[in-house]
Structure 1
């Protein structure tokens, strides 16, 4: 839970998912369950430390879950929670807006 210093719902959302790399991690997570190495391969330039940190933040915010399989070597899988899945319309709206306005071209 965020402190009361973020009374605006939009500001709360940005504080939760607006960190560097967080949106791109979530974009990948919308495609299904992912392992750490899959995410790192898909996110060119992210360091393992940063990826690990962002995944922990998302887990603490109950946006993703981390499932550890009891095998050797350890197999860890990340997936979206219901709360995380509910971010999809925001991402779709941003994709539509970006495609419409072609910001980076």
Structure 2
């Protein structure tokens, strides 16, 4: 099997995606980008980015006896998760746009 070569820009973008998404895991980002998790781990180590453990636990579903403070904390956590997800999707979109532009320039039709 041939070894894949990734551009330096793709590597930087992948590392930045992991760095900017606090709830993400190495395997999650790697699978989203279509690369091996060990490859991403190596790029993170080379960039000096510490690899996090599992993502933070998800808040439980709301219960009927929730105090206003608990509800506020739960909703803030949900907003934080949604913002993290949006940031990750925007970064992935930008990476895919750059990759499409790169590969469109390689075609010799």
Task: Tell me the TM-score normalised to structure 1 length.
Answer: 0.34
Structure with more contact order per residue of length (Cα contacts < 8 Å, sep ≥ 6): 2
TM-score after normalising by structure 2: 0.33
